[in-house]
A = this chain, B = another copy of it.
């Protein structure tokens, strides 16, 4: 057993009382009360869908019954619906080191990736290659491929193993598209260094912050990032399928002719002119009418992250992750579980992943027993670490449950049952 000291506590010394004490002294403990916590559940999947803030239901009821129900169309002005994409964008900006007016909440992450790819090709218009890594989340890769299928002369996707990333940064590349925190392993890429190296070769960078925002501090302006996108329903707790966001450095804004040139991105949407003219500001990254109900729910989640302070959240998350890893190592000395995430807290984002020979069947069995986690092919089980509502004691209970379930599960039988019913 590898014993890593966590604040002076070794894994085999961590009993439940130690963890209860950590909870008692947790500076963020009051935030748990701001969420609906599912009954009889250990929720380790906030990296996939964050839990519901208590305020969201109340706020949504008020928006539906009062703002929509009483105000109707008038609420686009009277209740500031019309500026919610910008207002929420400015709030998200504070979580990711962006400036006012550089971020807007809109559409889905996939759609925003598409906008960012096209924008990068326009700014760096003498190059055509968009580079990414095989380990990127598939939708990032798919969005390049869809554009190539339609306009092969405009874009050349290049997908390399991440081990070849740095050597692939050459002067043929228009833009690099990377996800900061790997969706399988939770490994954090070095945004500052990679961006610096890309820029040295005249390559723009697009960072996908889906697993970063609300989980780790991000410093887009400090790293001189060109474009970024991110997801509202993971660590921002914005609700299932929440609107996503897009960031663009101000220096590029005027060079971009949005391909998704809908009326809400127009300089003057209500003039109903026949010629598209992009808004001078970040609004040009909007397309259709903003999805107001989704935006309202997203804002409820974002407000909590802002109140909690992303640095405190990160500090607690690192500690939660480290203790979880140590408890797992202590419990499963047989190497049945192989850590797929970095052991180094600094390099590990908001989830801890383990490989397991029967990963799929085990993840199903865990969910059935109230430990909500998820599975990523071929053998990875992800455990989300969400410091806003996760307690230290949950780690102990989770590891005990994992031990019970692995011991009591007949893998062949379980895999047969799954095959039958899926």
Residues of A at under 8 Å CB distance from B?
36, 38-39, 41, 43, 45, 48-49, 51-52, 56-57, 60-61, 64-65, 68-76, 81, 107-111, 114, 118, 121-122, 134, 137-139, 141-143, 145-147, 149-151, 153-154, 159, 233, 239-244, 257-264, 266, 269-276, 287-295, 297, 367, 372, 374, 376-377
CB distance from A364 to the nearest CB of B (A): 11
Known pairs A52-B64, A150-B259. 14 more at Cβ < 8 A? A36-B65, A38-B69, A39-B70, A51-B68, A72-B372, A109-B289, A138-B266, A138-B276, A141-B276, A149-B261, A239-B293, A241-B290, A241-B293, A293-B294
Interchain residue pairs with CB less than 8 A apart (12): A49-B76, A56-B64, A60-B60, A64-B297, A107-B108, A110-B262, A111-B111, A142-B261, A150-B154, A291-B291, A293-B294, A293-B297
The 4 closest A-B pairs by CB, nearest first: A108-B288, A146-B261, A110-B262, A36-B69
Are A138 and B240 in contact, CB atoms less than 8 angstroms apart? no
Are B240 and A109 in contact, CB atoms less than 8 angstroms apart? no
User: Could you say which of A41, A69, A244, A295 has the most chain B C-beta atoms within 10 Å of its C-beta?
Assistant: A69
Are B263 and A142 in contact, CB atoms less than 8 angstroms apart? yes
Name the CB-closest residue of B to A36.
B69
Are A145 and B261 in contact, CB atoms less than 8 angstroms apart? yes
Contacts of A274 in B (CB 8 A): 134, 138, 141, 159
Complex CA gap A41/B70 in Å reads: 9
CB distance from A125 to the nearest CB of B (A): 11
Complex CA gap A288/B109 in Å reads: 7
Complex CA gap A109/B263 in Å reads: 10
Are A263 and B65 in contact, CB atoms less than 8 angstroms apart? no
Name the CB-closest residue of B to A237.
B68
Contacts of A75 in B (CB 8 A): 240
Name the CB-closest residue of B to A269.
B138
CB distance from A223 to the nearest CB of B (A): 25
Contacts of A64 in B (CB 8 A): 52, 56-57, 60, 239, 297
Name the CB-closest residue of B to A59.
B64
Are A272 and B376 in contact, CB atoms less than 8 angstroms apart? yes
Complex CA gap A114/B109 in Å reads: 17
Complex CA gap A61/B61 in Å reads: 7
Select one of B69, B145, B240, B374 contacting A292, CB under 8 A.
B240
Contacts of A233 in B (CB 8 A): 289
Contacts of A141 in B (CB 8 A): 274, 276
A293 and B145 contact, Cβ closer than 8 Å, known pairs A68-B52, A272-B376: no
Contacts of A121 in B (CB 8 A): 150
